[in-house]
C-alpha cells in the first residue's frame, strides 16, 4: 500500500509535465505560424 501511495504523486507530476510541454509546443507552433508577432520568450535573452 505504501508503494502505491508514493507512486501516485509522480504520476500527477509526470502528467502535468507532459501537459505543460504539449501546451508550450502548441504556443511555439502558433508563434512560428504567425511570425509577424514577436515571441516574448526570446526578448529577455537578447538583453545583456
Integer CA distances (angstroms), 20 to 15, 23, 37, in order: 9, 5, 22
Predicted confidence (pLDDT) per residue in 1-48, tens digit: 567 656 678 888 888 999 999 999 999 998 888 776 555 665 555 555
Buried b (16+ CB within 10 A) or exposed e, 5-40: eeeeeeeeeeeeeeeeeeeeeeeeeeeeeeeeeeee
Q: How many domains is the chain built from? A: 1
Q: Which residue has the cell 504523486?
A: 9
- The answer to pTM > 0.85 is no
In this predicted structure, what is the pLDDT of residue 37?
A: 54
In this predicted structure, what is the pLDDT of residue 6?
A: 66
- The domain of 29 spans 2-46
In this predicted structure, what is the pLDDT of residue 17?
A: 93
Amino acid at each position: 500500500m505504501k508503494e502505491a501511495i508514493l507512486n501516485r504523486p509522480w504520476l500527477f507530476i509526470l502528467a502535468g509535465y507532459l501537459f505543460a510541454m504539449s501546451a508550450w509546443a502548441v504556443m511555439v507552433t502558433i508563434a512560428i505560424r504567425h511570425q509577424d508577432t514577436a515571441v516574448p520568450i526570446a526578448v529577455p535573452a537578447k538583453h545583456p
